[in-house]
Amino acid sequence: MIYLALGSNLSGAFANSAQLIGAAIDNLPLCGAHEVARAPLYRSAAIGPMGDGQAQGDYINTVVAVRSVAPAIGLLQRLHVLEMAFGRERRETWGPRTLDIDILSYHDEIHAHGAQIPHPRLSGRAFVLYPLRDIAPGWRHPISGVGVSALIKRLPADARLGTEKLQPTLNSLEN
């Protein structure tokens, strides 16, 4: 199985962050990826630099399980095109963005050239691990072999603070 993380903390020209993520998932077939499972949305505090002298807004995040016959690097390239179609501009590392899509893991394969898979920072990010556990409670890290629940337990308390599951109501999705 292939697991993708999606995040957004900037509204696009036509939608808020939650709507952008939903539309991006709906458009994954254009990248050759077909949704198998979708985790609930989570809100998390931004990691990264301030934008224009102001703190970044919170992120909306989720994880989806997909199937694809595209090779990992080809899929990643297609996902970058989808990000750009949704207004993503790569100006600074960890800066605000309309859409970010990362390949968390790709069939337990390990890639170091062209793309780092599994994602090198997934083990330390509550906003990735919580939704991953929602759809794949038995998932194990391809390198360490550690399960997703154990990875969550290893997170420092401050890394878990500020990550909350959103209720699927209209009010909670209005960013």
Which CATH number belongs to the domain containing residue 87 in this structure?
A: 3.30.70.560
Q: What is the pLDDT of residue 90?
A: 62
32-77 residue pLDDT tens:
999 999 999 999 988 765 556 566 778 899 999 999 999 999 999 9
Give the Cα separation of 73 and 71 in Å (integer): 6
Catalytic-labelled residue, pool 38, 43, 78, 97: 97
Task: Report DSSP state, residue 12.
Answer: -
Domain that holds residue 136: 2-173
Check whether 175 has a pLDDT greater than 50: no
Q: What angle do CA 149, 151, 154 make, to 5 degrees?
A: 115
pLDDT at 10: 82
Count of structural domains within the chain? 1
Buried-state track 56-76, b at ≥16 Cβ within 10 A, e below 16: bbbbbbbbbbbebebebeebb
- From 38, 78, 102, 133, the catalytic residue: 102
Catalytic residue among 38, 43, 58, 100: 100
